[in-house]
């Protein structure tokens, strides 16, 4: 195992912080599975969180699931609490990378990033909250650069498929790719499916605080990104999409924000042509649209006041019409769920000038995978960490705060994900010889 040289004297390659959480337990399982065989078998890792008892019971559970009883004694438990900075510092001094699964990040994330940056531990999270991700860039980028620490947010389903999917589409397009629309569809089995409470809370507070995100963005003082080629099509708030054969709405998660930050980084650091991007999610047929409008109206009404937010937080299953629950999805529900993200790209084939006329080339790519939140996310997070440890020469030359695309654009992450069940394919390409 190649490790990042500055940190190779640390006892653990990876510490999973928040290992007792709903998602954290699956990240533990994925790390255990990954290190059980193959080139990653010498990885040294530990679990961390605020309750030793809960962490031990997660290790017990994973040992039973994977039939690896030795795990109980072999994996160290570190007690650290977001409210106790000294405990975070002790944890961070022991790790090459901290995998942070403690969320919502807007409430718990900042002290963890700070402790990592100050104590020389690299940082990966699975945050899907644009406000936190962009605030981290604003506050910690300079210090992270100075300390040679890599802080890489949104390394879960939010937003690795979207961010790496755009890079994949651009690499496969024979010419200059200028615009991409992505459509996410999620299919569930007969048992249905849902997300866990913490993600619902992230959504509630993200919507409630939308104005602060706008003012945060102004502080970057960014110049608008150059728009090469024809302007990307602007769609409405709800429309029927023939390609996916269902109604679709703009995707409200972190994908557009993360992709935009990656495109800015690639434009400013590598002089690459930025790709314009819009993200949409399929919502199904007329019945699903009516349900969405009904629950969306109450969400919009309640999210504005603290009493409303406390009602939304107390009764996630009721107000989300079953899309989120305090218990999270069952194993059966997760097994029956899968996703598809389709990218419709357009651009200018070789020899055609993107500053002249309309695009003459089109490409469609897709990523398919298992249940996004708790099956795909742990795989993606762990593969991001393995890529980081194994390919330091392909990372950006300096530390700082990065999106996945900015950090992993030159690595083999896509190939690794493909091998681990996230299937990236080109489904069509027209206009290119
Ligand atoms: N990117 C994606 O697609 C994706 C997918 C899944 C989840 N997520 C995000 O991941 C985060 C976690 O979600 P989840 O469903 O796993 O949440 P969860 O079950 O509520 O887990 C939260 C974890 O944080 C720990 N924690 C809370 N307060 C703490 C403190 N003061 N000090 C130390 N640890 C503390 C909890 O410890 P205890 O067990 O001791 O309470 C638990 O381990 C959320 O932000 C969610 O949105 C993202």
We report the CATH number of the domain holding residue 35 as 3.40.50.720
Determine the atom of ligand 1 nearest the C-alpha atom of 197: 15
- C-alpha 325/C-alpha 193 separation (Å) is 10
Which stretch of DSSP H or E encloses residue 364? strand 361-370
pLDDT tens-digit map of 313-323: 999 999 998 88
- C-alpha 384/C-alpha 259 separation (Å) is 17
Question: Are residues 41 and 110 both part of a single domain?
Answer: yes
Local confidence band at 387 (pLDDT 50, 70, 90 cut-offs) = very high
Of the candidates 214, 228, 237, 235, the one whose C-alpha atom is nearest the C-alpha of residue 263 is 228
3-class secondary structure, 347? strand
User: How many domains does the structure of the chain reveal?
Assistant: 2
Question: Are residues 22 and 145 both part of a single domain?
Answer: yes
Determine the atom of ligand 1 nearest the C-alpha atom of 51: 40
Question: Are residues 303 and 387 both part of a single domain?
Answer: no
Residue with tokens 């020389």: 120
Residue with tokens 């728009």: 227
Determine the atom of ligand 1 nearest the C-alpha atom of 24: 16
CA dihedral defined by 123, 125, 127, 131, rounded to 10 degrees? 0
Which of 79, 86, 103, 403 should be mutated for ligand 1, with most atoms under 8 A from CB? 103
Backbone Cα Rg of the chain: 21
Q: Is the CB of 404 under 6 A from ligand 1?
A: no
Ligand 1 center–CA 363 separation, angstroms: 37
Predicted pLDDT at 355? 85
- Please say if the pLDDT value at position 36 is more than 90: no
Q: Is the CB of 82 under 6 A from ligand 1?
A: yes
Q: Are 331 and 22 in contact (CB under 8 A)?
A: no
Ligand 1 center–CA 204 separation, angstroms: 15
Q: Is the CB of 387 under 6 A from ligand 1?
A: no
Question: Are residues 135 and 240 both part of a single domain?
Answer: no
Residue with CA closest to ligand 1 atom 6:
373
Question: Are residues 358 and 257 both part of a single domain?
Answer: yes
Determine if the peptide bond prior to 6 is cis (ω within 30°). Answer: no
Question: Are residues 197 and 244 both part of a single domain?
Answer: yes
Residue with tokens 């939140």: 373
Of the candidates 3, 68, 58, the one whose C-alpha atom is nearest the C-alpha of residue 33 is 68
Question: Are residues 80 and 140 both part of a single domain?
Answer: yes
Give the CA distances from residue 355 to residues 218, 252, 311, in Å, rounded to whole numbers and listed in that order: 29, 31, 52
Flag the least confident range among 39-53, 110-124, 362-376, 411-425. Answer: 39-53
The pLDDT of 140-159, averaged and rounded, is 97
Q: Is the CB of 26 under 6 A from ligand 1?
A: no
pLDDT tens-digit map of 403-425: 999 999 999 999 999 999 999 99
Taking the CA of residue 27 as centre, how many other CA atoms within 13 Å lie in the half-sphere pointing to its CB? Answer: 36
What range defines the domain where residue 96 resides? 5-156+377-413
Ligand 1 center–CA 114 separation, angstroms: 18
3-class secondary structure, 102? coil
The pLDDT of 234-263, averaged and rounded, is 95
Question: Are residues 325 and 181 both part of a single domain?
Answer: yes
Question: Are residues 262 and 334 both part of a single domain?
Answer: yes
Question: Are residues 44 and 20 both part of a single domain?
Answer: yes
Q: Is the CB of 202 under 6 A from ligand 1?
A: yes
Determine the atom of ligand 1 nearest the C-alpha atom of 50: 33
Ligand 1 center–CA 343 separation, angstroms: 30
Question: Are residues 200 and 328 both part of a single domain?
Answer: yes
pLDDT tens-digit map of 17-35: 999 999 999 999 999 999 8
Question: Are residues 304 and 200 both part of a single domain?
Answer: yes
Which two three-digit tokens encode residue 249? 């709405």
């Amino acid at each position: 195992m190649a490790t990042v040289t500055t940190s190779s004297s640390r006892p653990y390659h990876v510490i999973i912080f928040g290992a007792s959480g709903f998602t954290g337990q699956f990240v533990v399982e994925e790390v255990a599975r990954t290190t059980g065989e193959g080139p990653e078998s010498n990885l040294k890792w530990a679990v961390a969180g605020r309750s030793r008892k809960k962490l031990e019971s997660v290790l017990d559970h994973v040992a039973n699931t994977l039939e690896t009883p030795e795990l109980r004694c072999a994996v160290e438990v570190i007690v650290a609490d977001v409210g106790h900075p000294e405990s975070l510092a002790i944890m961070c001094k022991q790790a090459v990378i901290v995998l942070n699964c403690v969320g919502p990040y807007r409430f718990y994330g900042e002290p963890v990033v700070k402790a990592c940056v100050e104590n020389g531990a690299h940082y990966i999270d699975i945050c899907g909250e644009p406000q936190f991700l962009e605030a981290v860039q604003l506050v910690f980028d300079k210090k992270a650069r100075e300390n040679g620490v890599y802080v890489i947010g949104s390394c879960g389903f939010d937003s690795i498929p979207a961010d790496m999917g755009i890079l994949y589409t651009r690499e496969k397009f024979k010419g200059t790719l200028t615009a991409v629309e992505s459509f996410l569809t999620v299919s569930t089995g007969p048992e249905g499916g849902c997300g866990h409470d913490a993600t619902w809370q992230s959504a509630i507070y993200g919507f409630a605080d939308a104005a602060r995100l706008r003012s945060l963005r102004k502080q970057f003082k960014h110049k608008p990104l150059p728009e090469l080629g024809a302007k990307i099509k602007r769609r409405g708030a709800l429309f029927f999409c023939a390609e996916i054969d269902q109604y679709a709405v703009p995707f409200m998660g972190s994908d557009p924000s993360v992709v935009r930050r990656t495109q800015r980084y690639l434009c400013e650091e590598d002089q690459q042509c930025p790709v314009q991007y819009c993200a949409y999610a399929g919502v199904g047929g007329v019945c699903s649209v009516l349900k969405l409008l009904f629950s969306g109206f109450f969400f919009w009404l309640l999210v504005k006041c603290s009493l409303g937010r406390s009602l939304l937080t107390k009764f996630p299953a009721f107000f989300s019409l079953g899309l989120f629950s305090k218990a999270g999805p069952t194993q059966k529900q997760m097994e029956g769920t899968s996703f598809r993200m389709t990218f419709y790209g357009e651009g200018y084939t070789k020899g055609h000038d993107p500053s002249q006329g309309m695009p003459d080339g089109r490409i469609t790519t897709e990523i398919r995978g298992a249940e996004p939140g708790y099956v795909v996310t742990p795989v993606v997070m762990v593969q991001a960490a393995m890529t980081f440890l194994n390919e330091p020469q392909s990372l950006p030359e300096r530390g700082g705060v990065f999106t996945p695309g900015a950090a992993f654009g030159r690595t083999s992450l896509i190939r690794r994900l493909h091998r681990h069940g996230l299937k990236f394919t080109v489904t069509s390409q027209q206009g290119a010889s």
